[in-house]
Amino acid sequence: MDLMRRDIAICTRLLVDVDILEYSGHISSRLPSGDEFLIQPVDDVRSNLEPSRLLVVGLDGCVIQGEGKPPSETAIHAEIYKARPDVKAVAHFHHDPTTMFSMVVDRPLLPMKNHAARWPDGVPIHPDASHISSIEQGQELARTMGDCNAVLLRGHGEVVVAENIKALFADIVHFVENAKALADAGLLGEIVPLTREDLEGFEATFDRDKHARKLWSYYTVTAANKGVIPLEWLDD
Ligand SMILES: [Zn+2]
């Protein structure tokens, strides 16, 4: 089986299983050619996504290979891939406890836990609350995100980007953990975000690839035991 296709299907099913994805949202991965990516058809049920169903889509948002229409917000993926050559995997989802941070004043989504080192200066908020359905809207979103590895869409959802699907999955888990930690800590008292110095100290001793593989192993084996993914999809 094509491992990139398998990993997108696994990542999508896992995110449903942990209540981050539901009936909408999507994961994509850039193909080695650089100007094409894999993404699911708009109406395929996320919890049952099959690797063979993934569409090959160009950076113009048009389907090159596969059956079905791409998601209505495919411009999010296409325009981020155009703007950020370093990005190889993109997730868009609508996780309400995280999206809350686009709905309040004076409470930016700052790094509270050490794995938030991926977003050391916090996470920008994109002001356009409508669906990102045009190329122009996708370009605006990519501009708001800039060099950050995530962006909040005001009153809508979030986007997280990474260098591959396994790293993307780990980043999403930590992204929502950090948002929850910030919300909970704010109930206890005045928050104390981690500083750049704190986060640089963490990263100096952190093996990102090893950590991503560890999370992937834990979540995939647990999911396979529950029947969320087939046992034969597990890494050897
Ligand atoms: Zn959306």
Asked if the model's pLDDT at residue 236 lies above 80, the reply is no
Ligand 1 centroid–CA 69 distance in Å is 16
Q: How far is the CA of 124 from the centre of ligand 1 (A)?
A: 16
| Sequence ranges of the domains in the chain | 3-233
Average pLDDT over all residues of the chain: 97
pTM of the model as a whole: 0.97
With CA atoms as reference, report the closest residue to 169 among 59, 43, 56, 18. Answer: 18
- Count the residues in the chain: 236
Distance 218 CA to ligand 1 centre (A): 28
**Residue 167 CA to ligand 1 centre (angstroms):** 21
Q: Which residues lie near ion ligand 1 (Cβ < 5 Å)?
A: 157
CA of 6 to the centre of ligand 1 (A): 23
Mean local confidence (pLDDT), 185-212: 96
pLDDT of residue 71: 98
The Cα 34–Cα 37 span in angstroms is 8
Q: Coil, strand or helix: which one is 54?
A: coil
Tell me which of 2.30.110.10, 2.60.40.10, 3.40.225.10, 2.60.40.60 is the CATH number of domain 3-233. Answer: 3.40.225.10
Structure confidence at residue 151 (pLDDT): 98
Nearest-angstrom CA–CA distance, 160 and 169: 9
Give CA–CA dist 9/3, Å, rounded.
10
| Closest C-alpha to 198, from 117, 124, 121 | 117
Cα separations in angstroms, 74 against 32, 92, 136, 232, 236: 19, 10, 12, 30, 32
138 C-alpha to center of ligand 1: Å? 12
Question: At 1, is the pLDDT very low, low, confident or very high (cuts 50, 70, 90)?
Answer: confident
**Ligand 1 centre from 132 Cα, in Å?**
7
Ligand 1 center from residue 92 Cα (angstroms)? 7
Distance CA 198, CA 8 (A): 33
**pLDDT for residue 89:** 98
- Return all residues near 124 (Cβ < 8 A) that are at least 6 apart: 144, 145, 146, 148, 151, 152
18 CA from centroid of ligand 1 (Å): 18
Measured in angstroms, how far is the CA atom of residue 41 from the centroid of ligand 1?
15
Select from 46, 49, 77 the least CA-distant residue to 61.
Answer: 77
At 57 the three-state DSSP class reads strand
Helix (H) or strand (E) holding 142: helix 135-145
| Those residues with Cβ within 8 angstroms of residue 231's Cβ, 6 or more apart along the chain or in another chain | 224
**Under 8 Å between Cβ of 124 and 152:** yes
Tell me the torsion sign for CA atoms 190, 20, 169, 138: negative
Summarised one tens digit per residue, pLDDT across range 19-77 is 999 999 999 999 999 999 999 999 999 999 999 999 999 999 999 999 999 999 999 99
Question: pLDDT digit string (tens) for 63-102?
Answer: 999 999 999 999 999 999 999 999 999 999 999 999 999 9
CA of 210 to the centre of ligand 1 (A): 31
